[in-house]
Amino acid sequence: MHGVIADLGTAEGAETLFAAHPQTDILVNNLGIYDDVDFFEVPDSEWERFYDVNVLSGVRLARHYAPGMVGKGWGRILFISSESGIAIPADMINYGVTKAANLAVSDGLAKRLAGTGVTVNAVLPGPTLTDGVAALVADAAQASGRSIREEADHFVRNARPSSIIQRVAEVDEVAHLAVYLASPYSSATTGAALRVDGVVDSLAI
């Protein structure tokens, strides 16, 4: 196994990946960008960039790799969506729209591949302590005197008050669900949108 440097937010980058790895049995679409910007300040170019990176990247990869999986009678396709795809955040509308699109693609593709042995599922993390989230809360943490983790947990308690766990999720907690969905043990799980959000009550799926 070796890595490939490619910008999967572009068609050219996808072709670079395909040339290096023509087939795969397991595809996890985890590419995504986000930003905290008011709706009225987001130009068309940013909407297009978010759609290219967050949606079309996964569409291109699934379109290329799924036929090979079908030919083998086995495969796993995952789309890492977000609870923001259901409960669209007012300060990240363009991001939420792309994550809703991930859910739609996953659901439709699961139906398209019915009976083939290829499963397609979406994972909906809530606020998770990724490097990106750490960067987003860094200024607030510095101002409050809290650690990055404490600031992230503070955000969850205030911005997601219905969260049962009342804290930010760990990256590994999301990854564990993805590992299950990518495994042979998940053969009866397809067309699902599975939550790792600490239970945000506003979600109804």
Give the type of residue at 144. Answer: S
Alpha helix (H) ranges present in 52-188? Answer: 57-72, 93-112, 131-144, 148-159, 171-181
Q: Which residues are catalytic?
A: 95
Find the Cα–Cα–Cα–Cα dihedral 159, 162, 168, 169, rounded to 10°. Answer: -140
Closest by CA position to 117, among listed 17, 25, 21, 3: 25
Give the type of residue at 65. Answer: Y
The tally of CA atoms less than 13 A away on the side-chain side of residue 41 is: 7
User: What's the CA gap between 106 and 58, in Å, rounded?
Assistant: 10
Maximum separation of any 2 CA atoms in the chain, in Å: 56
